[in-house]
DNA sequence: GACCGTCAAGGTGCG
DNA sequence: CGCACCTTGACGGTC
């Protein structure tokens, strides 16, 4: 069981997703920006390892315009050594990493152009895992997509597109149950058709479900992961921000709710991503709780 | 130096 | 039909 947080470290004075405007694109600017993003990513990973935070969602913005046609620079070649070094560090410290391409990646869109741009984005993000020499346990996490007024058709379009994906993307792709459109049940239908693992989101499941108790839902999702190829279940954890719109993530970890949730995972040992606004502050509190319960080691793993 | 409108990309749902 | 929302920072033009 590893605990993590997404993309941004609020303690350090750097970000791994510095970008610039499309209008000011040039290769020199690209190289400079990727260099500082990778340097910052390395610092964040070190910060995490020193504190026992061994799960991390990498920012999709490491390479600005990474899948945009304007970016023809061979950054994969130019930064091969840096990516490899980061991958070595991840592996040496038994970390788990993921990407979560944003809402523009929609594999089941009826618009072929959107589908092609989505695939290009997945290829870009998957290629960063390849450069890090990480295996298929490093995941690309997306949602099923839009409904377009016909759930069955929307699901069948996702399945058809999935089957056309490049191998490097397909082995790493996972789908997450969402809070409004595609439930765990819908994701299970997709899984049954093509074998794709389901990344479980407890909060989304609370928002949208068919009555499955939390513990049962976790078991169903975990059953879609091949331990050898996919690794342990990944899950997103959050809870409702009181007084806000349904589905709004809490601003800080609600420790009592987290403690009440934990028994639901049983002996699954999932890697848990805290989708909580204050990032590593809450992740550190979650690790402290797991240490207290004896679910993770009392001391961080030594740095290699 | 501070301010603030805007930024590659999609889809839903509300008013 | 148009706009806010998801989620978010920070780019970069302007004064």
pLDDT tens per residue, range A23-71 = 889 999 999 999 999 999 999 999 999 999 999 999 999 999 999 999 9
User: Could you identify the residue whose CA is nearest to the C1' atom of nucleotide C11?
Assistant: A20
Overall average pLDDT of the A233-252 stretch: 87
Res A147 pLDDT > 90: yes
Res A304 pLDDT > 60: no
Query: A53, A5 in Cβ contact below 8 A?
Result: yes
Res A170 pLDDT > 60: yes
Q: How far is the CA of A189 from the C1' of B9 (A)?
A: 28
pLDDT at A194 (0 to 100): 97
Compute CA distances A262 → A152, A267, A290, A303, whole Å: 34, 10, 9, 28
- Which nucleotide lies closest to A10 by the C1' atom and the CA atom? C9
Res A186 pLDDT > 90: yes
For Cα atoms A113, A61, A35, give the angle at the middle one, nearest 5 degrees.
130
pLDDT at A302 (0 to 100): 60
pLDDT at A53 (0 to 100): 96
d(CA A198, CA A176): 6
Least confident interval from A9-18, A119-128, A219-228, A263-272:
A9-18
Q: How far is the CA of A290 from the C1' of B6 (A)?
A: 42
Per-chain mean pLDDT for chain A: 94
Locate the DSSP E strands across chain A. Answer: 3-6, 55-58, 96-99, 139-142, 173-176, 198-201, 234-237, 271-274
SS3 call for A269: coil
- Within 7 Å of a protein beta carbon, the nucleotides of strand B are 7-13
Q: How far is the CA of A71 from the C1' of B8 (A)?
A: 12
* Range A68-99 burial, b when 16+ CB lie within 10 A, else e: eeebebebeeebeebbeebbebbeebebbbbb
User: Could you identify the residue whose CA is nearest to the C1' atom of nucleotide B11?
Assistant: A146
Q: How far is the CA of A216 from the C1' of C8 (A)?
A: 34
Q: How far is the CA of A29 from the C1' of B2 (A)?
A: 25
Q: How far is the CA of A246 from the C1' of B14 (A)?
A: 15
pLDDT band with cut points at 50, 70 and 90 for residue A301: low
> Tokens 């999935």 — which residue?
A162
pLDDT at A297 (0 to 100): 87
Overall average pLDDT of the A97-113 stretch: 94
d(CA A181, CA A44): 34
User: Could you identify the residue whose CA is nearest to the C1' atom of nucleotide C12?
Assistant: A21
Residue ranges and CATH numbers for the domains of chain A are 2-293 (3.20.20.150)
Torsion of the alpha carbons at A127, A234, A54 and A269, rounded to the nearest 10? -140
Record the pTM: 0.95
Q: Which long-range contacts (CB under 8 A, 24 or more apart) does A59-62 make?
A: A59/A7, A59/A8, A59/A15, A59/A16, A59/A17, A60/A17, A60/A99, A60/A100, A60/A101, A60/A102, A60/A121, A60/A125, A61/A16, A61/A17, A61/A18, A61/A19, A61/A37, A62/A16, A62/A17, A62/A34, A62/A37, A62/A38, A62/A128
Closest of A170, A172, A226, A222 to residue A200, by C-alpha: A222
- Which nucleotide lies closest to A113 by the C1' atom and the CA atom? B9
Q: How far is the CA of A180 from the C1' of C5 (A)?
A: 13
Overall average pLDDT of the A124-148 stretch: 96
Angle of helix A184-194 relative to helix A214-222, nearest 10 degrees, comes to: 20
Q: The dihedral of CA A246, A249, A253, A259: what is its sign?
A: positive
Q: Which residues touch strand C (CB under 7 A)?
A: A 6, 8, 15, 18-21, 23-24, 103, 245, 247-249, 277
Q: How far is the CA of A268 from the C1' of C6 (A)?
A: 30
User: Could you identify the residue whose CA is nearest to the C1' atom of nucleotide B12?
Assistant: A146
Res A242 pLDDT > 90: no
pLDDT digits (tens, 9 = 90+) for A267-299: 999 999 999 989 999 999 999 999 999 999 886
Overall average pLDDT of the A177-192 stretch: 96
């Amino acid at each position: 069981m590893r605990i993590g947080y997404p993309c941004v470290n609020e303690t350090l004075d750097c970000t791994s997703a510095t970008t610039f405007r499309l209008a000011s694109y040039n290769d020199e600017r690209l190289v400079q920006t990727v260099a500082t993003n990778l340097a910052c990513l390395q610092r964040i990973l070190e910060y995490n390892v020193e504190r026992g935070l061994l799960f991390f969602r990498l920012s999709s913005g490491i390479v600005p315009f990474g899948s945009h046609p304007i970016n023809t620079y061979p950054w994969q070649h130019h930064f091969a050594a840096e990516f490899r070094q980061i991958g070595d560090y991840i592996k040496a410290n038994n970390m788990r990493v993921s990407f979560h391409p944003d809402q523009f990646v929609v594999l089941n869109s009826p618009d072929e152009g959107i589908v092609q741009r989505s695939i290009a984005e997945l290829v870009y993000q998957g290629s960063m895992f390849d450069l890090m020499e990480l295996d298929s346990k490093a995941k690309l996490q997306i949602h099923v997509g839009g409904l377009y007024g016909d759930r069955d058709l929307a699901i069948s379009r996702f399945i058809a597109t999935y089957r056309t994906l490049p191998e490097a993307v397909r082995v790493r792709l996972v789908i997450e149950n969402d809070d409004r459109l595609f439930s765990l049940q819908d994701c299970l239908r997709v899984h049954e058709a093509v074998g794709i693992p389901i990344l479980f989101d407890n909060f989304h499941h609370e928002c949208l479900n068919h009555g499955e108790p939390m513990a049962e839902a976790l078991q169903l999702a975990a059953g879609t992961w091949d331990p050898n190829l996919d690794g342990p279940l990944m899950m997103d954890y959050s809870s409702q921000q009181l007084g806000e719109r349904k589905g709004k993530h809490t601003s800080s970890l609600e420790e009592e709710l987290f403690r009440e949730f934990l028994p639901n995972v049983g002996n699954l040992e999932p890697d848990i991503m805290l989708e909580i606004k204050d990032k590593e502050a809450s992740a550190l509190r979650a690790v402290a709780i797991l240490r207290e319960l004896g679910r993770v080691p009392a001391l961080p793993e030594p740095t290699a």
